[in-house]
Amino acid sequence: MKDTHTPHIPVVIVGGGQAGLSTAWCLKQKGIESTVFERHDAFHSWRRNRWDSFCLVTPNWQCRLPDFHYERDYGGTDPDGFMLRDEITAYLDAFAEKTRPNLREHVTVTRVAPRAEGGFDVETTAGDWTCDQVVIATGGYDMPIEPAYARNLDPEIFQMHSVDYRNVDQFPEGCVLIVGTGQSGVQLMEDFTRAGRDVHLAVGPAPRSPRKYRGRDATDWLYDAGHYAVTIAEHPDPVKAQTQTNHYMSGRDGGKEIDLRRFHLEHGVELYGSLADMDGTEVRFLPDLGKNLDDADRSYVGIRTQIDAYIAREGIDAPEEPPFEKLWSPEQERIRIDLAEAGITSVLWAIGFRPDYRWIEADVFDARGKPVFDRGVTAQAGLHFIGLGWLNTWGSGRFLGIEEDSRHLADQIEAQLGAAATQVCDA
């Protein structure tokens, strides 16, 4: 029996981003009541945790929230462009205005635990509830990652994580060391070079992608070829798919690819391998710069090859491109520098985030703390996840796959609620 003293909600959704609100909308269409708890304000990460020049990396046409596609429903006029930060939040706010979820902002969920009789206890900073179903839509960006040895850095050296970065004016005069070459790291590198600042870059193992290739954006070709429809169950290397860093490129200035070799030659960006340790003003790097650059290029060429094969298979008339050319290679890798001697006065960490699920008391996590599910549905009846990378396809953690994932999850919740009601009637 439900606790008659604790208010009850059929479905609690934790997280007021695009994944949570999309799920709320799909449930609403089925007549299923839900409440969304958001610890900040709706779309906080887009609104508050993005830098001033931030823009999408994927084209606007991929913004396909349920019943709110960029062109068809929102009236967007630049499908092949890349929305800036404020344009993204305007699109999201318009979706919230259309769907009108039961949203409780500035409420932090502090505990979710299964009840012996079924359903869940949900404790929050605004009170306690019980519910039948819980959807975790908090994403994977709870805690910024900084290595332990960052604490060993000379306190005179300014440090910041990318989550707090807005523009180069936050940084003292002098050179900056940017650590990480995922999508954020390379775009922040460009932010500094455009401002005329000297940049040192610790290059990690992130892959890179072409932007425009054979007359179209590479993502357009890959979409048409069915690449983004491949599910994690069909993927030839699911472990790699789920753990690999996103390919880096940029949507800035209408879209461009990022070649770190070119940035070294044309903008003087000093390149090193992966960061290994810090002590005072001394920094050590792994001797893997050449390997990391080559691996990124191998990914780049691999995507071009996929597109070439699709064009040939379909008999499409598309312009030819010159073959890939490696512009520069390090003759000798520097594995140790003194920041003071190099004129480096600040370090910008761009090595990602990790999720925080410590408030969920359910046996649905593997040894690494990663939730285990089938398209978001866990082995714990009524507990679900959405908005994570490769929940089902490449687009699951992005705008492109939210509609499919949220509709599927709404179907699963409807079925579970129906099954539970039938059991109660039978009893």
Q: Are 208 and 257 in contact (CB under 8 A)?
A: yes
Residues 333 and 394 in one domain: no
324 domain-assigned:
yes
Pair (138, 149) in one structural domain = no
Residues 221 and 338 grouped into a single domain? yes
Q: Please report the pLDDT score of residue 167 as a whole number.
A: 98
> What are the pLDDT digits (tens) for 392-413?
999 998 999 999 999 999 999 9
Task: Select from 327, 349, 371 the last residue of a domain.
Answer: 349
Please report whether residue 248 resides in a domain: yes
Predicted confidence at residue 425, as pLDDT, reads: 54
Predicted pLDDT of residue 250: 97
| 360 and 342 inside one domain | no
Query: Which tens digit of pLDDT belongs to each residue from 2-54?
Result: 455 899 999 999 999 999 999 999 999 999 999 999 999 999 999 999 999 99
Write the single-letter amino acid at 376. Answer: G
Is the CB of residue 353 less than 8 Å from the CB of residue 143? yes
DSSP element (H, E) containing 114:
strand 109-114
| In the chain, % of residues over pLDDT 70 | 97
Indicate the SS3 state at residue 84.
strand
3-state SS class at 55? strand
Residue-averaged pLDDT of the chain: 95
Mean pLDDT of the 173-196 span? 97
* Same domain flag for 13 and 123: yes
**Residue 252 resides in a domain:** yes
The answer on 184 and 169 residing in a single domain is yes
Q: Same domain, yes or no, for 364 and 285?
A: no
Residue 2: inside a domain:
no
pLDDT in tens, 249-299: 999 999 999 999 999 999 999 999 999 999 999 999 999 999 999 999 999
Domain span at residue 123 reads 8-142+355-426
On the question of pLDDT at 307 being above 50, the answer is yes
As a whole-number percent, the residues of the chain with pLDDT over 90 amount to: 93
Residues 297 and 174 occupy one common structural domain: yes
Q: Are residues 189 and 264 in the same domain?
A: yes
Same domain, 131 and 164: no
Last residue of a domain, one of 349, 380, 398: 349
d(CA 185, CA 275): 13
In a domain, 3, yes or no: no
Q: Cβ neighbours of residue 27 under 8 Å, at least 6 residues apart?
A: 11, 33, 34, 410, 413, 414
Count structural domains, the chain: 2
Instruction: Compute and round to an integer the Cα radius of gyration of the chain.
Output: 23
On whether both 331 and 361 belong to a single domain, the answer is no
Domain presence at residue 1: no
Residues 285 and 330: their CA atoms lie apart, in Å, by 14
pLDDT of residue 75: 98
- The reported pLDDT for the residue numbered 1 is 45
Give the tens place of pLDDT for each residue, 330-387: 999 999 999 999 999 999 999 999 999 999 999 999 999 999 999 999 999 999 999 9
**pLDDT band (50, 70, 90) for residue 141:** confident
Q: Is residue 193 a part of any domain in this protein?
A: yes
In a domain, 217, yes or no: yes
397: nearest Cα among 118, 419, 218, 405: 405
Assess whether pLDDT exceeds 80 at residue 424: no
End residue of a domain, out of 334, 349, 364: 349
**pLDDT of 86-128, one tens digit each?**
999 999 999 999 999 999 999 999 999 999 999 999 999 999 9
**70 and 17 belong to one structural domain:** yes
Supply the CATH number for residue 150's domain: 3.50.50.60
Under 8 Å between Cβ of 88 and 46: yes
Task: Report how far residue 351's alpha carbon sits from residue 163's, in angstroms, rounded to the nearest whole number.
Answer: 10
Judging by DSSP bridges, how do beta strands 64-65 and 68-69 pair with one another?
A: antiparallel
Confidence of residue 140 (pLDDT cuts 50, 70, 90): confident
pLDDT tens per residue across span 201-245: 999 999 999 999 999 999 999 999 999 999 999 999 988 888 888
